[in-house]
Amino acid sequence: MENKTDLSISIGTDIEEISRIENAIKRSESFAKKCFLDSEIDYCRSKNNSGKHFAVRFCAKEAFAKAVGKSCRWHDVEIKNNELGKPEIILHGKAKEEFFGCKMDISMSHSRTYATSTVVIVWK
Residues labelled catalytic = 66, 110
Residue 112 DSSP class: S
Q: Would you tell me how many other CB atoms lie within 10 Å of the CB of residue 118? A: 19
The pair phi, psi for residue 24, each rounded to 5°, is -65, -40
Alpha carbon distances (Å) from 119 to 45, 48, 53, 68, 116: 24, 25, 17, 9, 10
